[in-house]
Copies of this chain bind each other. A is one copy, B any other.
Amino acid sequence: MREALSEWRPLVDEEIERLLAREMTDDDFANLFGEPRFAYDTDALNEALIEPTWDLLDRGGKRWRPVLFLKIVEGLGYDPHEYLPYATIPEILHTGTIVVDDVEDGASLRRGEEAIHHRYGTDVALNAGNALYFVPLKIVSANPADLSSEQQLAVYEMLTFELNRTHLGQGTDIVWHNQCNIDISEDEYLEMSACKTGCLGRIAGRLAALVTNQPTAVEGALAGYAESLSIAFQIGDDILDVKNSLDEAGAFGKAFGNDIREGKRTLMTIHAVQEGTEAQSERLEEILTADAVADDEIREVIEILQTTDSVEYARERALEFAADARSHLDDLDLVPAVEDDLREFTRFVIERER
């Protein structure tokens, strides 16, 4: 899968550029969005939509959702090259969500540089981020690979379903943060994660099924695979943040204990609240809901996570979700070499080191 990521990534980026050129002309805007009735201000539109989008896209990102889509298409026995435009859908949506999430979370950095709203202003960032929620729907209307109208409708309904749920996940997470609530049930936490992170993964899986016209059961299995993979990925990410903090402890000037500083709820903090002593739970609540957190306090949280075995617990749960993801592959009849890659990917999302 690591090879697939580096092999397909440039093709995905080319495809995004085919849709949204780095500098759009009058004709590009008219082709994508329809002829103006009067006249577009093309310079303003490039500044409003295209510059901030490419700034963020050019900072990297793994593009794992488009590559997941392409690998699944390949696994189902189809040529991924024919479906490349659809691969951009989850990536463009993801790009939109991170711009908006950074405004919502008050984040100042993204991929090692200024957050988009810091560089371009909150107004430009939000409007561009929101525009990226709707641009991918244009791909469905343009109908590359000549889907039937039933397939197109199914794609719209799938996107409607998943994009609604992403907002449930994000909304829940925001309210927990604002309420200073850290006593959350594991099921509520996992639902939040399934909605907030899982839905974009599910889009990649379900889209691959829909564009190749698979039966509902296949779509369901691919959705299940992608959702559990995404949850495992998220838990892996959260563990990595703690591990990096442990290993580097502020060395290299690298950000340290980011998630703790932001008071992020993770499977680890939820487990620690449940398993820790009353004193430990109280300290966790104090530190995770504080406006400013000292380095010593970050070390204290990490120690609580360790003494309650919460990092190990989260790792086990991540392994369970990875296993659940693989179990969905058992229900499918994929090209064997590709199936191996998809299985390996469920390990990679937990084992990866960055």
Interface residues, chain A, CB within 8 Å of chain B?
A: 29, 32-34, 36-41, 44-45, 47-49, 100, 103-106, 121-124, 126-128, 130-131, 133-135, 137-138, 140-141, 149-150, 152-153, 156-157, 160-161, 163-165, 167-168, 170-172, 174-179, 184-188, 190-192, 194, 227
Contact = CB atoms under 8 A, between A and B. Distances in A.
B103 A175 contact: no
Nearest to A133: B133
Contact of A188 (B39, B47, B156, B191): B39
A191 B41 contact: yes
A187 B39 CA distance: 5
Nearest to A126: B104
Contacts of A123: 104-106, 174, 177-178
A39 B36 CA distance: 46
A106 B126 CA distance: 12
A44 B137 contact: no
Contacts of A100: 126, 130
A99 to B, nearest CB: 11
Given A122-B104, A160-B137, A131 B41 contact: no
A188 B149 contact: no
A47 B160 CA distance: 22
A135 B56 CA distance: 28
Given A38-B190, A167-B134, A172 B33 contact: no
B134 A171 contact: no
6 closest A-B pairs by beta carbon, nearest first, are A48-B171, A131-B167, A38-B187, A39-B187, A104-B123, A137-B160
Contacts of A48: 168, 171-172, 174-175
Contacts of A171: 44-45, 48-49, 124, 127-128, 131
A17 B352 CA distance: 47
A130 B133 contact: yes
Contacts of A168: 29, 33, 40, 45, 48-49, 131
B172 A41 contact: yes
A122 B36 CA distance: 33
Contact of A34 (B141, B161, B174, B176): B161
A194 B161 contact: no
B127 A126 contact: no
Contacts of A185: 39
B134 A160 contact: yes
18 contacts: A29-B168, A38-B194, A39-B188, A39-B191, A40-B168, A44-B171, A44-B172, A44-B175, A48-B172, A100-B126, A123-B178, A124-B175, A127-B170, A130-B133, A131-B171, A137-B164, A141-B160, A141-B161
